[in-house]
Amino acid sequence: MARVCQITGKRPQVGNNVSHANNKTKRRFYPNLQKKRFYLPEEDKWITLKVSTKAIKTINKHGITAVLKEAKANGNLVL
């Protein structure tokens, strides 16, 4: 599976390694993804999502149900 957050849609970004001599070579900045299980009380089941740490903080703040609804509306959620 790709390195994409299932809630926020964060993806790897491209940038440069810059040496002391100012030589530039391409590199990738990866999002901090974690595999995490969440409990859905409405459906009485557990789901496993690959989410960024920012998404985990958002889920803690707003709740899993509201965040899943918003992610489906944005088209980010892939289950």
Total structural domains in the chain? 1
pLDDT in tens, 29-38: 999 999 999 9
Residue 69's CATH number: 2.30.170.40
Q: Where in the sequence is the domain holding 58, given as residue range(s)?
A: 13-74
Three-class SS state of 49:
strand
- Confirm whether 3 is domain-assigned: no
CA-wise closest residue to 56 among 13, 9, 7: 7
- Confirm whether 46 is domain-assigned: yes
Question: Could you tell me the pTM of the whole model?
Answer: 0.85
- Confirm whether 23 is domain-assigned: yes
pLDDT over 80 at 79, yes or no: no
Q: Using a pLDDT cut of 70, give the percent of the chain over it.
A: 96
